[in-house]
A and B are shown apart, each in its own frame.
Chain A
Amino acid sequence: MSTVKTHMRDMLEIAQDEFIMRGRIRDILKEEPKTILEISEILGYPSREVTIWLFGLRRYGEVEETGRPDVDGYFKYEFVEKKEEEEAHA
């Protein structure tokens, strides 16, 4: 799945999918950091929708980007163990 033409689902419909998809995205990123396109490919969902779900996770600190984008302009994102982070701060 990539950026090629796809039917754009309604934003509300995509939002309703978020709680199902976030677990799957977390599991994918636990293995190794990935770009949105790579996550999209694994999930089989359009990259636009993955963008929305991924940044829903990032908003609450569950994923973050790793360094600079690659030569094609894509960032990789990694899973953040929130508990460990909190303990480290403690």
Chain B
Amino acid sequence: MKTDKQKTDYDVMVVGAGVAGMETAASLGDMGYKVLLVEKKSSIGGKAILLSKVFPTLDCASCIVTPKMAAAAHHPNIDVKVYTEVDEIKRNTDGSFAVDMHQKASYVDFDACTGCGQCEEICTITVPDEYNYNLVTRRVAHIPFPQAVPKTAVIDRRGEAPCTFTCPSNVKASGYISLVRAGRYKEAFNLHIENAPLVGSLARACYAPCEEDCTRCGKEETVHIRGIKRFFSDTYYEEHPEPEYGPVEEQLKTKVGIVGSGPAGLSAAFYLARNGHQVTIFEAETQAGGMLRTAIPAYRLPNEIVDRDIKNVTALGVEIKCSARVKSAASLKEQGFDAVFVATGASDERNMGIEGEDLEGVMGCMKFLRETKIGDVPDIKGKTVVVVGGGNSAMDPARSAIRMGAKRVIIMYRRSREEMPAHSWEIEGAIDEGVELMELSNPKSFIGKDGKLESVEFLKMKLGEPDESGRRRPEVIEGSETTLPVDLVVLAIGLKPSTTDFADEIESEWGLLKSDEKTLQTADPAIFAGGDCVTNPTMIVNAIAQGRRAAFYMDKHLKDESLDAPFDTDFLLEKTDKDAVLEESKNFKPRSPVLQPMMPLEERKQTFDCYESVMTEEEARKEAHRCMNCGECSQCMECVNVCPAFCIDFTMSERPRSLTVGSVVLSTGYEVLDPAAKELLGYNRIPDVVDGLQMDRLLAPTRPYNSVLRPSDGKEPESIAIVLCNGSRDHTVCNPLCCRIGCMYSVKHAQLVMGALPLADVTIYYIDIRAFGKGYDEFYEQSKGMGVEFVKGKASRIEQLDNGNMELHYEDMEGEGGLGKREHDLVVLTVGFLPNTEAFGLFKPGELEGDEHQYVREVDPISEPGKTTIDGLFAAGAIIGVRDIPDTVLHAGAAATQAATYLKQTRGE
């Protein structure tokens, strides 16, 4: 069967854009074939572009390779796809190939990026620089190397940091932590308000689910994320008593009414106003803030902080009308509001339905906290207070009662402490402050005289089988009635949504308003509902998340845009594998947490002042330094803010592609043996033992240092040892092959070092010198003439001396023989190479055959070089065995010719 040229997307696909791939593509392109050149890294050029010079001519590697890169990139017949991985290749019956591939998400628009490097410079995360073979660091936003083609940045992301992923509003905790670590506090604040505008309130009162999911919990303990937030929010508010911004310039005519000024309503208002809508918030209370103002005790969240947070919203022109209870969303529409957001919260008290609840001295926790917070404080000094309930809302009144001078404060709970829904640290805090826990006890009735509470009659309970919540069900112990004299009972047994006003116009269930889970739109397209009145009482940050979501979809509605649009949470990556991060860092030193300073216990019991102190700048940065950069990129967004071409896009995702090609050439190169496998030679143990590739970087014009320096201390070395055959011709690392190029590139290193450091001594330890190519032996002889000392000897061990230099032990194979040792201040290990076996995984198992060393097998290297065991599939360069650059170029030419011949045959040309 003949291949139909019209049905193929490309004549040839070349996989791997090193020297062999570029040469093959260029040859085929010159012949007139349409070529797709695929490279998994973000630049073409392979390993050769990172070399210093090439042997034996000592031409600059860049001068040799960059013209090939440019030729491939600009060739009219070649399409280059970088950052793209081939997933599968199948041979079709007509001789063509079906290919599945995907372009990885680079988070940078390659077409728009100018390669200015500003994103890299401002990036706040550093990682080892693999393009300099880990001699230095690079940023996660990076252009791989100066000669990269295309010269565009990419951003490394391996997943969503657990802290960010877990936060209901996806506040980029990893981002603001990295900004604090970098000393950029204002930027940290500004990043936070992109996802939650009530920064000060969250810094003091958020239950911080991010901390519970912190990867650092797997080592010492969580990074104190909320403490870091407290530092930068306090710092920012101190420096900026008023917001730095005003209403946005482009004001729209659309009017939005928001019912409720709690966290959901305020957040929705903030994001709607930032989009230019005219927003009015209606608040039934006399002051804005909802539960933030009325329900969270001042020792945790002072009202000044709530006020400053609200300024973030009102600065945008949002009007807040207090003492303005709205009883109908439809009435707001009638008043001219184009859309309404109902966010009335859930502050209505539940009651127990037992005798005596209406007595004076029995009150709900919301009422108690509200009166405490706004100053109408009940006098309970020297009295006994019982708080009924086991949730966080029971802890707040109990701890408040202690501060108000109660003689005895008891939390009465029908289950045991283990089943309490309150956070353990809240319970511990309450107990520390003197609150008594009365577990397995439940009020039966409240007993009073003349309408005033005098005592509580309660029952003892026992735990039965688990209920639907998974907690063991409390069961009454009959006859266990006991009476406890008491002055005040605070019921903290749960809250219900404040929705009765809207029950007739918005569908509801169990008191909860019903709105679309994604858009928060109700059955009336102009009315949206969110926050605790939809979800039931949760955390502040949950309500903020709802407000932000509502604002997004209300904006769409108001602009007559589709509500099918994805919200930003739809672009979250999968949560980073914490186990992988912990494994990667298993040898890292522990980093002790910085604990937020606390007010002394006795002092704190006397006052509603905040008992948590703010970290100092040094403490905050030290704590931020404990972050493990789980997601690699922290999403601090500094790159987005600075990019002049607006080309960074975190919504980018992997782009799969399927196509058909006439033929395929594999040119995925080779791997480098990790010299650490030769443990006695000290690599990764002694800093001045480097491998050959690192030496090439030290010698390259784009070197990581300012000169040829030793990594341990930046000294120009005086005595350099180059040790050949480390992991090549070596059965101890299962690599019996000669690397074929080590002798010559080591001679190259020696000559280049002598040029760069004329006073340095260079010694090459060798078993035998293989100088078999044209001009190679002359190159070798030339180095001897320059003064390079050649010692025929096998290096056996390298030890670091107390002066930092190294003692190299070797077996002297000529001269006097025996064992010798010499001192050097830099050692270069010329390493072996290994096959790159990735290509085998692209085909059905066994379809592509390898040779006995796992290089791709050439079926007939002499008469048909480059031909593999799959008809129409060819291999070029080091994928079939490591070779030098001239031989690679030759082999690539042969493979290109083979592919061209195949195309002619299958197409009947």
Is there an interface contact between A3 and B707, defined as CB atoms closer than 8 Å?
A: no
Given A11-B134, A48-B687, verify A2-B713 contact (CB < 8 Å).
yes
Shortest CB-to-CB span from A50 to chain B, Å, is: 8
Contact partner, B126, options A19, A64, A72, A75, Cβ 8 Å: A19
Given A4-B804, A13-B588, A17-B625, verify A74-B714 contact (CB < 8 Å).
yes
Is there an interface contact between A55 and B705, defined as CB atoms closer than 8 Å?
A: yes
Shortest CB-to-CB span from B143 to chain A, Å, is: 12
Does B863 belong to the interface (CB within 8 Å)?
no
The interface on chain B, measured as residues whose beta carbon lies within 8 A of the other chain's beta carbons, has a size of 46
Contact partner, B804, options A2, A8, A17, A19, Cβ 8 Å: A2
Shortest CB-to-CB span from A30 to chain B, Å, is: 15
Shortest CB-to-CB span from B701 to chain A, Å, is: 15
With A and B bound together, what is the CA distance between A59 and B705 in angstroms? Answer: 9
Does B345 belong to the interface (CB within 8 Å)?
no
Shortest CB-to-CB span from A65 to chain B, Å, is: 5
Does A9 belong to the interface (CB within 8 Å)?
yes
Instruction: Scan residues 13-40 of chain A and give those whose CB is less than 8 A from a CB of chain B.
Output: 13-20, 23, 35-37, 40
How many residue pairs at the A-B interface have CB separations less than 8 Å? 113
Is there an interface contact between A74 and B713, defined as CB atoms closer than 8 Å?
A: yes
Contacts of A65 in B (CB 8 A): 706-707
For B184, give the chain A residue with the smallest CB separation.
A19
Is there an interface contact between B715 and A10, defined as CB atoms closer than 8 Å?
A: no
Contacts of B803 in A (CB 8 A): 3-4
Contacts of A64 in B (CB 8 A): 706
Shortest CB-to-CB span from B158 to chain A, Å, is: 13
Is there an interface contact between A73 and B716, defined as CB atoms closer than 8 Å?
A: yes
Does B183 belong to the interface (CB within 8 Å)?
yes
Is there an interface contact between A13 and B629, defined as CB atoms closer than 8 Å?
A: no
Is there an interface contact between A8 and B687, defined as CB atoms closer than 8 Å?
A: yes
Does B414 belong to the interface (CB within 8 Å)?
no
Binary contact track B716-729/A, C-beta < 8 Å → 1, others 0: 11100000000000
Shortest CB-to-CB span from A29 to chain B, Å, is: 13
Given A3-B713, A20-B621, A73-B716, verify A52-B136 contact (CB < 8 Å).
yes
Given A9-B589, A19-B182, verify A51-B124 contact (CB < 8 Å).
no
Does B685 belong to the interface (CB within 8 Å)?
yes
Contacts of A4 in B (CB 8 A): 802-804
Shortest CB-to-CB span from A24 to chain B, Å, is: 11
Contacts of B711 in A (CB 8 A): 48, 51-52
Is there an interface contact between A69 and B136, defined as CB atoms closer than 8 Å?
A: no
Contact partner, B712, options A17, A48, A54, A60, Cβ 8 Å: A48
Does B181 belong to the interface (CB within 8 Å)?
yes
Does A12 belong to the interface (CB within 8 Å)?
yes
Binary contact track A36-71/B, C-beta < 8 Å → 1, others 0: 110010000001100111111011100011000100
Instruction: Scan residues 382-404 of chain B and give those whose CB is less than 8 A from a CB of chain A.
Output: none
Contacts of B588 in A (CB 8 A): 9-10, 12-13
Does A5 belong to the interface (CB within 8 Å)?
yes
Is there an interface contact between B714 and A54, defined as CB atoms closer than 8 Å?
A: yes
For A74, give the chain B residue with the smallest CB separation.
B715
Given A23-B183, A55-B705, A75-B706, verify A48-B713 contact (CB < 8 Å).
yes
Shortest CB-to-CB span from B91 to chain A, Å, is: 41
With A and B bound together, what is the CA distance between A75 and B711 in angstroms? Answer: 13
Contact partner, B181, options A11, A20, A56, A58, Cβ 8 Å: A20
Is there an interface contact between B121 and A75, defined as CB atoms closer than 8 Å?
A: no
Contact partner, A10, options B587, B707, B712, Cβ 8 Å: B587
Contacts of A23 in B (CB 8 A): 183
Binary contact track B609-627/A, C-beta < 8 Å → 1, others 0: 0000000000001100100
With A and B bound together, what is the CA distance between A4 and B136 in angstroms? Answer: 20
Shortest CB-to-CB span from A13 to chain B, Å, is: 5
Binding site secondary structure of chain B:
loop
Is there an interface contact between A16 and B629, defined as CB atoms closer than 8 Å?
A: yes
Does B592 belong to the interface (CB within 8 Å)?
no
Shortest CB-to-CB span from B175 to chain A, Å, is: 13
The interface on chain A, measured as residues whose beta carbon lies within 8 A of the other chain's beta carbons, has a size of 40
Does B800 belong to the interface (CB within 8 Å)?
yes
With A and B bound together, what is the CA distance between A19 and B126 in angstroms? Answer: 8
Is there an interface contact between A15 and B802, defined as CB atoms closer than 8 Å?
A: no
With A and B bound together, what is the CA distance between A65 and B588 in angstroms? Answer: 31
Contacts of A72 in B (CB 8 A): 715
For B760, give the chain A residue with the smallest CB separation.
A73
With A and B bound together, what is the CA distance between A42 and B380 in angstroms? Answer: 58
Is there an interface contact between A51 and B589, defined as CB atoms closer than 8 Å?
A: no
Contact partner, B713, options A5, A12, A51, Cβ 8 Å: A51
Shortest CB-to-CB span from A9 to chain B, Å, is: 7
For A58, give the chain B residue with the smallest CB separation.
B706
Is there an interface contact between A3 and B804, defined as CB atoms closer than 8 Å?
A: yes
Given A12-B128, A65-B706, A75-B706, verify A56-B136 contact (CB < 8 Å).
yes
Does B565 belong to the interface (CB within 8 Å)?
no
Is there an interface contact between A8 and B684, defined as CB atoms closer than 8 Å?
A: yes
Is there an interface contact between B714 and A47, defined as CB atoms closer than 8 Å?
A: yes
Is there an interface contact between B589 and A56, defined as CB atoms closer than 8 Å?
A: no
Contacts of B713 in A (CB 8 A): 2-3, 36-37, 40, 47-48, 51, 74
Shortest CB-to-CB span from B216 to chain A, Å, is: 12
Is there an interface contact between B707 and A55, defined as CB atoms closer than 8 Å?
A: no
Shortest CB-to-CB span from A6 to chain B, Å, is: 8
For A13, give the chain B residue with the smallest CB separation.
B588
Is there an interface contact between A56 and B137, defined as CB atoms closer than 8 Å?
A: yes
Contacts of B718 in A (CB 8 A): 73
Contacts of A35 in B (CB 8 A): 714
Is there an interface contact between B589 and A15, defined as CB atoms closer than 8 Å?
A: no
Is there an interface contact between A18 and B706, defined as CB atoms closer than 8 Å?
A: no
Binary contact track B800-816/A, C-beta < 8 Å → 1, others 0: 10111000000000000
Shortest CB-to-CB span from A70 to chain B, Å, is: 10
Is there an interface contact between B712 and A51, defined as CB atoms closer than 8 Å?
A: yes
Is there an interface contact between A51 and B625, defined as CB atoms closer than 8 Å?
A: no
Given A56-B126, A75-B706, verify A36-B181 contact (CB < 8 Å).
no
For A53, give the chain B residue with the smallest CB separation.
B137
With A and B bound together, what is the CA distance between A53 and B804 in angstroms? Answer: 20
Contacts of A19 in B (CB 8 A): 124, 126, 178, 181-182, 625
Shortest CB-to-CB span from A48 to chain B, Å, is: 4
Is there an interface contact between B715 and A15, defined as CB atoms closer than 8 Å?
A: no
Binary contact track B676-716/A, C-beta < 8 Å → 1, others 0: 00000000111100000000000000001111010111111
Shortest CB-to-CB span from B186 to chain A, Å, is: 16
Does B584 belong to the interface (CB within 8 Å)?
yes
Does B585 belong to the interface (CB within 8 Å)?
yes
With A and B bound together, what is the CA distance between A54 and B135 in angstroms? Answer: 12
Is there an interface contact between B589 and A13, defined as CB atoms closer than 8 Å?
A: yes
With A and B bound together, what is the CA distance between A12 and B136 in angstroms? Answer: 10
**Would you list the 3 A-B pairs with minimal beta carbon distance, nearest first?**
A3-B804, A36-B714, A73-B716
A-B contact pairs, 11 of them (CB 8 A): A5-B802, A8-B685, A12-B584, A15-B137, A16-B625, A18-B137, A19-B126, A36-B713, A51-B712, A74-B716, A75-B709
Given contacts A4-B802, A19-B625, A35-B714, 16 further A-B contacts (CB under 8 A): A2-B713, A8-B686, A8-B687, A11-B134, A13-B588, A14-B137, A15-B128, A18-B126, A19-B178, A40-B713, A51-B713, A59-B138, A64-B706, A72-B715, A73-B715, A75-B707
